[in-house]
Chains A and B, each alone.
Chain A
Amino acid sequence: MKVYLDNAATTRLDPRVLARMKPYFSDKYENASSIHLPGQERYLELIKAKESIAKLVGGEARGVVFTSSATEANNMIIRGVAEANRTEKKNKIIISEIEHPCVREAANVLKREGFEVVYLKPDSEGIINSEELEKNIDSRTILVSVMMVNNEIGTINDIKSLAAIAHKHGAYFHTDAVQAVPYLRIDVEKMGIDFLSLSAHKFNGPKGLGIAYLNRKIKISPLIVGGGQEEGLRSGTYNTPGIIGAAFALELAYKERASYLKRVKGLRDYFWQRLKTEISDLKVNGSLKKRVEANLNVMFYSIEGEAILIDLSRQGISVSTGSACSATDLRSSYVLRAIGLDKNYLNSNIRFSLGRYNTKKEIDYTIACLKKTVKRLRSFSPVSAKMKL
């Protein structure tokens, strides 16, 4: 049986979205910047897509800019806003310790350019608290960037409160909301969000399409320059099929949100209930309450994450891990380290991220396989399986 439990990494393209995109490859392929009639038709369709997206995030169409990925959107926003708003008195950026690598690396670029970068620590539940931001923010801060939902442990931050604090101190607020769709309702106006990043392939849309939502009143230096698309903010031929796909995928995600959340929460909770009853010595990483309904990140004591992953993969199950062995730089997950996970637990974690197409049968199969895997690996582990609590 093939079971895909790595939806936080990427999701399957919804067949309905694929159908919507197809004509844009074979028939409606004209460049949306061209002056001829078909080109202009493509352009109007693009504008419609922006209006649809803007409505779903509570903003205006002019604020929607398409990129190649959320990584690009994060780079564009963090580096572009910092660079355009730097003054003698303002040269500080605040991000959280648990941001996605693209945000961390963008901040590193700024560090090399002489900006001061401060990192907010999460609490042991994986949440970035208001007090933590208050402690670190001042009038020198240009931008605060805190993700809406963490990709590894699925924990949810109180963006509205954090944004309010940023504004109180004269700073702008950005949030990477890639993992928030459709778990949270996004309203940039009500939440006080100046900049937002989204990624289509995380909500059953196509890969290669990111969305940067920008507060157009704020100065930003473009990252990618060239032909002047997106009013000069992001040059490059519009990826029309990707744009149409992304807009439709976002629409479907929020339209079907209620039924999806109910179903996926049921599955996730059932999964966790069976796991903790049928396998000993394990625990959940991060808050189970302040967490999106599809995420489960579990520590399996005395056995190694990558070994579990490969063993599961062999049985047809796809998951993710944060162990040192599985990382290209051979370091364990900085998110798990940041939440203060006991060092003896750092290499024993598996992230299960459910999605639109998972079924109860798949969960049952996964439990059966996990029991076999854990038993096998624990049988030759040098560490006793009894977790010291």
Chain B
Amino acid sequence: MDNFLKPKNVGKIANPDGYAQIGNMVCGDQLDFFLKVEKGKVKDVKFLSFGCASNIATASVLTEKVKGMTIEEAKKYPWKKVVEDLGGLPTQKIHCSIMAVEGLQKAIKNYEEHDVKPKVKTKPKTKLKVKVKAKPVVKKKTVNKKKTAK
């Protein structure tokens, strides 16, 4: 209840490092997540909500828990634990906790993706390599085409 009446971490972050929107008004459930990352850890996280009490409460509890965690840890925070942290949720509200976790993961992914471009120099090389290796699998055909065109 407290997490609904006095939710933690509500609001926006100007110039977030990661941002994601999950759900929408038509569904009746929407969460916008804003991330601030420093040295691979969640420095700050905020959210905005269009949704029921469970939607607000799950996001409040989740954001509170992941503050200070590394990105990897935050990514893995399970929805079942969010339900536990809240002291349980009615069956038809479980999807709220899943949505909160997925929203956070989407924001983290957004941070990881756009972080590869301009800020590449500050990132460990291994990460870059992984990204480059992944590409050829997808773009096999286009690479060939380019060769023949030339």
Binding site for B on A (CB under 8 A): 302-307, 310-311, 314, 323-326, 328, 330, 332, 343-344, 346-348, 379-383
Binding site for A on B (CB under 8 A): 1, 4-5, 7, 10-11, 21, 25-32, 47-56, 92, 95
Q: Total contacts A to B, CB within 8 angstroms?
A: 76
Instruction: Tell me whether chain B's interface is mostly helix, strand or loop, or mixed.
Output: mixed
Q: A380-B7, A380-B10 are in contact. Are A346 and B50 (CB under 8 A)?
A: no
**Separation of A139 and B25 alpha carbons in the complex (Å):** 44
A303 partner, pick from B1, B32, B50, beta carbons under 8 A: B50
Distance from A363 Cβ to chain B, minimum over Cβ atoms (Å): 24
Q: Is the CB of A304 within 8 A of B32?
A: no
Residues of B within 8 A of A325 (CB): 28-29, 51-52, 54-55
Q: Is the CB of A310 within 8 A of B4?
A: yes
A307 partner, pick from B32, B47, B51, beta carbons under 8 A: B51
Q: Is the CB of B52 within 8 A of A382?
A: no
Q: A310-B53, A381-B50 are in contact. Are A304 and B10 (CB under 8 A)?
A: no
Distance from B144 Cβ to chain A, minimum over Cβ atoms (Å): 44
Residue of A nearest to B11 (CB): A380
Q: A304-B55, A310-B4 are in contact. Are A383 and B27 (CB under 8 A)?
A: no
Residues of A within 8 A of B51 (CB): 304, 307, 325
Residues of B within 8 A of A305 (CB): 28, 52
**Separation of A381 and B23 alpha carbons in the complex (Å):** 13
Q: State the 6 A-B residue pairs at the shortest beta-carbon distance, nearest first.
A: A347-B28, A325-B52, A306-B52, A382-B48, A324-B28, A380-B10
Q: A310-B4, A314-B5, A328-B92 are in contact. Are A383 and B53 (CB under 8 A)?
A: no
Distance from A52 Cβ to chain B, minimum over Cβ atoms (Å): 43
**Separation of A325 and B50 alpha carbons in the complex (Å):** 11
Q: Is the CB of A323 within 8 A of B5?
A: no
Q: A310-B4, A325-B55 are in contact. Are A381 and B49 (CB under 8 A)?
A: yes
Q: Is the CB of A347 within 8 A of B25?
A: yes
Q: Is the CB of B25 within 8 A of A380?
A: no
Q: Is the CB of B4 within 8 A of A382?
A: no
Q: Is the CB of B48 within 8 A of A346?
A: no
Q: A310-B4, A346-B26 are in contact. Are A382 and B11 (CB under 8 A)?
A: no
Residues of A within 8 A of B31 (CB): 382
Q: Is the CB of A344 within 8 A of B25?
A: yes
B25 partner, pick from A307, A330, A383, beta carbons under 8 A: A383
Residue of B nearest to A381 (CB): B50
Q: Is the CB of B50 within 8 A of A302?
A: yes
Q: A304-B51, A383-B50 are in contact. Are A346 and B32 (CB under 8 A)?
A: no
Q: Is the CB of A383 within 8 A of B30?
A: yes
Interface centre among B5, B21, B47, B50 (most CB of A within 10 A): B50
**Separation of A304 and B56 alpha carbons in the complex (Å):** 11
**Separation of A328 and B47 alpha carbons in the complex (Å):** 26
Distance from B53 Cβ to chain A, minimum over Cβ atoms (Å): 4
Residues of A within 8 A of B95 (CB): 330
Q: Is the CB of B49 within 8 A of A330?
A: no
Residues of B within 8 A of A344 (CB): 25-26
Q: Is the CB of A382 within 8 A of B49?
A: yes
Knowing that A302-B50, A380-B11 touch, tell me 5 more A-B residue pairs with CB under 8 angstroms.
Answer: A304-B52, A311-B4, A328-B92, A347-B25, A382-B21
Q: Is the CB of B28 within 8 A of A332?
A: yes
Residues of A within 8 A of B32 (CB): 382
B56 partner, pick from A307, A324, A326, A328, beta carbons under 8 A: A307
**Separation of A328 and B93 alpha carbons in the complex (Å):** 10
**Separation of A314 and B5 alpha carbons in the complex (Å):** 9
**Separation of A5 and B33 alpha carbons in the complex (Å):** 35
**Separation of A175 and B5 alpha carbons in the complex (Å):** 43
Residue of B nearest to A326 (CB): B52
Residues of B within 8 A of A382 (CB): 21, 30-32, 48-50
Distance from A157 Cβ to chain B, minimum over Cβ atoms (Å): 28
Distance from A259 Cβ to chain B, minimum over Cβ atoms (Å): 39
Residues of B within 8 A of A383 (CB): 25, 30, 50
**Separation of A200 and B47 alpha carbons in the complex (Å):** 46
B52 partner, pick from A323, A328, A381, beta carbons under 8 A: A323
Q: Is the CB of A307 within 8 A of B53?
A: yes
